[in-house]
């Protein structure tokens, strides 16, 4: 085995079985570690029923509900292969995805992480993401979100890659400290990508690495808990990752933006609660910052140059969990009343 697949999941038994079926059909054999954030459905029973097919290559871990970042770290700690594939439970990979991703890694030893087009299952001609971009307030967004899939895509360096499907070098992720386990929801992948680039690693997307994302066209409005996590994670990422030359102005500006956002747009309480959280955990954040900056070899200017240079996303979230996809004929069949914990 060269690849361990780490799949965080929460109440997605049906989607998870589809993901495992696709992984079973990969031309490159893989080991799989499913980390369950205490699902209340029959996820555990479904995974147990899969064990005979995997012949010892499928592991199931049940953990307290701590979110996908913690789950990915849990799987990473059990990874003994040189590569680790971070894979969401609602994603489906074509049969040669892993083999192609490994070829890209082998062709360029400086590549620490690779991904490709994430396509909507309800409209596979539309792009959910082609890597990610980052603004100076720490705002993160998916590149080409909602755009038509081009006939001939081009490989590109990126600041970060959506962990819906990202193959990485195990040692590189560990050297960067893995995911920030305090990021219960959102920004854990953009935070990791920023650190990987700062440590001198390359992160890139390739058009032959297309994966299918089974999500609803209408994501629904963000629960207050999600807004809280969006806000605190964004601020913490700026505080720990921005270089010494930038943190002195980026952090105050990011905080000022958060205060203005709370004053102008509801919900206000979770944004203010996020600011209190950032102040309460400042000591821990500073300790993490020292570790990040000790290993920094690439400037923020070089990292942000990998993006489009925007400070804000091309399209605002406007209170939603993620951006809606215009023009889809498929109705919204899901009720989004709380976080889904991936």
Q: Please tell me the predicted confidence (pLDDT) of residue 338.
A: 38
> Chunked in runs of 10, what are the mean pLDDT values of the chain (342 residues)?
97 97 98 97 96 96 95 98 98 98 98 98 96 94 96 96 97 97 94 98 98 89 93 97 95 96 95 98 97 96 96 86 63 41 40
CA torsion sign for 36, 42, 43, 45 is positive
Which residues are CB-neighbours of 107 under 8 A, at least 6 positions away?
none
- What integer pLDDT is reported at residue 133 of this predicted model? 98
Candidates 315, 333, 310, 335; CA nearest to 325 is 315
Among the listed residues 140, 278, 119, the one whose alpha carbon sits nearest the alpha carbon of residue 205: 119
pLDDT attached to residue 66: 93
Angle between helices 269-280 and 244-264 (to 10 degrees): 150
Say what the pLDDT of residue 318 is. 78
Query: How high is the pLDDT of residue 57?
Result: 98
Residues forming a β-bridge with 213:
91, 120
Q: How far apart are CA 107 and CA 125, in angstroms?
A: 29
Pair type for strands 83-87 and 132-134: unpaired
Measured CA distances, 113 to 8, 68, 165, 300, 310 (Å): 18, 18, 10, 19, 23
Cis peptide bond N-terminal to 160, omega within 30 = no
> Under 8 Å CB-to-CB from 40, ≥6 apart: which residues?
11
pLDDT for 342 equals: 39
Query: Considering Cα of 154, then 160, then 163, then 168, what sign does the dihedral take?
Result: positive
Q: What is the pLDDT of residue 113?
A: 98
SS3 assignment, position 307: coil
Give SS3 for 304. Answer: helix
Q: Name, in order, each residue with C-beta under 8 angstroms of 140's C-beta and a sequence gap of 6 or more.
A: 132, 133, 134, 160, 187, 190, 234
Are the C-beta atoms of residues 237 and 147 closer than 8 Å to each other? no
- Burial of 36-67, coded b for 16+ CB within 10 Å and e otherwise, reads bbebeeebeebbeebeeebeebbbbbeeeebb
Cα dihedral 203, 209, 210, 211 in deg (nearest 10): -80
278, 231, 82: which is closest to 168 by C-alpha? 82
Alpha-carbon span 122 to 111, nearest angstrom: 31
Are 9 and 63 in contact, with CB atoms under 8 Å apart?
no
Write the DSSP symbol of residue 92.
Answer: E
Residue 242 DSSP class: S
- Residues paired with 58 in a beta bridge: 32
Q: Which two tokens stand for residue 111?
A: 């590549």
């Amino acid at each position: 085995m060269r690849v361990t697949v780490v799949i965080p999941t929460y109440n997605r038994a049906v989607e998870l079985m589809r993901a495992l079926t696709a992984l079973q059909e990969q031309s490159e054999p893989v080991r799989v570690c499913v980390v369950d954030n205490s699902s209340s459905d029959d996820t555990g029973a479904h995974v147990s029923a899969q064990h005979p097919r995997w012949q010892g290559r499928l592991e199931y871990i049940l953990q307290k509900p701590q979110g996908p970042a913690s789950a990915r770290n849990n799987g990473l700690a059990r990874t003994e292969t040189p590569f680790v594939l971070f894979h969401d439970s609602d994603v489906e990979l074509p049969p040669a995805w892993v083999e192609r991703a490994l070829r890209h890694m082998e062709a360029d030893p400086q590549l620490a992480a690779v991904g490709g087009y994430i396509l909507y299952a309800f409209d596979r001609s539309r792009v959910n993401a082609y890597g990610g971009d980052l603004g100076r307030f720490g705002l993160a967004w998916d590149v080409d979100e909602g755009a038509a899939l081009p006939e001939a895509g081009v490989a590109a360096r990126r600041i970060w890659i959506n962990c819906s499907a990202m193959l990485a070098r195990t040692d590189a992720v560990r050297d960067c400290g893995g995911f920030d386990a305090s990021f219960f929801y959102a920004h854990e992948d953009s935070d990791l990508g920023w650190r990987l680039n700062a440590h001198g690693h390359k992160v890139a997307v390739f058009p032959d690495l297309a994966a299918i994302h089974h999500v609803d066209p209408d994501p629904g409005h963000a629960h207050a808990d999600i807004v809280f996590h969006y806000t605190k994670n964004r601020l913490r990422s700026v505080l720990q990752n921005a270089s010494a030359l930038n943190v002195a102005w980026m952090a105050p500006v990011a905080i000022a933006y958060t205060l203005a956002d709370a004053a102008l747009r509801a919900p206000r309480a979770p944004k203010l609660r996020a600011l209190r959280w950032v102040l309460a955990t400042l000591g821990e954040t500073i300790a993490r910052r020292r570790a990040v900056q000790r290993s920094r070899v690439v400037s923020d200017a070089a990292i942000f140059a990998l993006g489009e240079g925007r400070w804000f996303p091309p399209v605002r979230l406007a209170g939603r969990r993620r951006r809606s996809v215009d023009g889809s004929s498929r109705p919204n069949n899901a009720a989004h009343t709380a976080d889904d914990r991936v």
